[in-house]
Amino acid sequence: MSGHNKWANIKARKGSQDAKRGKMFTKTAKEIIIAAKIGGGDPDGNARLRAAIQAARAINMPNDNIKRAIARGTGAEGDMAYEEVMFEGFGPAGVAILVEAQTENRNRTTGEIRHLFSKYGGNMGVPGCAARNFQRQGQITIPAEGLSEEKVFEAAIEAGAEDVQNEGDAYTIITSFSSLNSVNDALVKAGLPVASAKPVYVPTVTVKLAGDHAKGLLKLMDALEDNDDVANVWANFDIDDADIEAFES
């Protein structure tokens, strides 16, 4: 799990660069559209939309863009026929991979994801083949700047969180899937600057990788993440931090 977290944190830092900002805006807008379509356009009564707006503000998405995405989701500015699709498969050395996509063309996206699995030494499987290696949980991210670990820990535990992890430049708060929204709301009310709050899949068992297997798996992860329709990727690999840093440098 530590290796996967390290990769995710590096990707987040890379994603904050100007070259990646447009793609981040597009993917975040899709999440806002889907959240508004499913639960309505009022963030006070739609926890998923509220979290999506938090994520948008964390990357400095303009308010006009946020409002436009909400309007598209509710149908006020035309119907956006996005749907959520989960793809499952395996990468090098049998690493289990879950790919969450948001697309208006399932057939096109299915073909693209299948091609990426094949190109980088993996294979896409049937629903359920990889999900058995994961547990559904909630994850909340708070920037570490200006906040002591003790303050974040106390607020998180009081709010009902299960664990707090210090990732250096951010705190990762782990919750049960069912309590994600209530913990997030409590942290916001406590004045903590929540950057994101989302459901995640946490591996129940990991596969240790090194050398060519590690490089191949990270290439596959990067390629999946870079696809315009992919919202999230989870995998149960464990790669040493130094190897991940070297690959991403």
Confidence of residue 64 (pLDDT cuts 50, 70, 90): very high
Q: How many whole angstroms separate alpha carbon 182 and alpha carbon 138?
A: 11
pLDDT value at position 69?
Answer: 93
Q: What is the pLDDT of residues 117-168, one digit of tens each?
A: 999 999 999 999 999 999 999 999 999 989 999 999 999 999 999 999 998 8
Q: What is the pLDDT of residues 70-118, one digit of tens each?
A: 999 898 876 667 889 999 999 999 999 999 999 999 999 999 999 999 9
**Range 19-25, long-range pairs (CB < 8 A, 24+ positions):** 21/59, 23/226, 23/228, 24/59, 25/59, 25/61, 25/65
pTM metric for this prediction: 0.84
Q: How many whole angstroms separate alpha carbon 135 and alpha carbon 129?
A: 14
Q: How many whole angstroms separate alpha carbon 175 and alpha carbon 92?
A: 30
CB-based contact 159:190 (threshold 8 Å): yes
Q: What is the pLDDT of residues 169-198, one digit of tens each?
A: 889 999 999 999 999 999 999 999 888 888
The alpha carbons of the chain give a radius of gyration, in whole angstroms, of 18
In the CATH scheme, what is the homologous superfamily, with its name and number, of domain 2-74? Integrase, N-terminal zinc-binding domain (1.10.10.200)
Return the closest-CA partner of residue 26 out of 109, 103, 97: 103
Q: How far is CA 201 from the centre of its chain?
A: 9
- Domain extents for the chain? 2-74
Token reading at 132? 């058995």
Helix-strand-coil percent breakdown of the chain, rounded to 5? 50, 25, 25
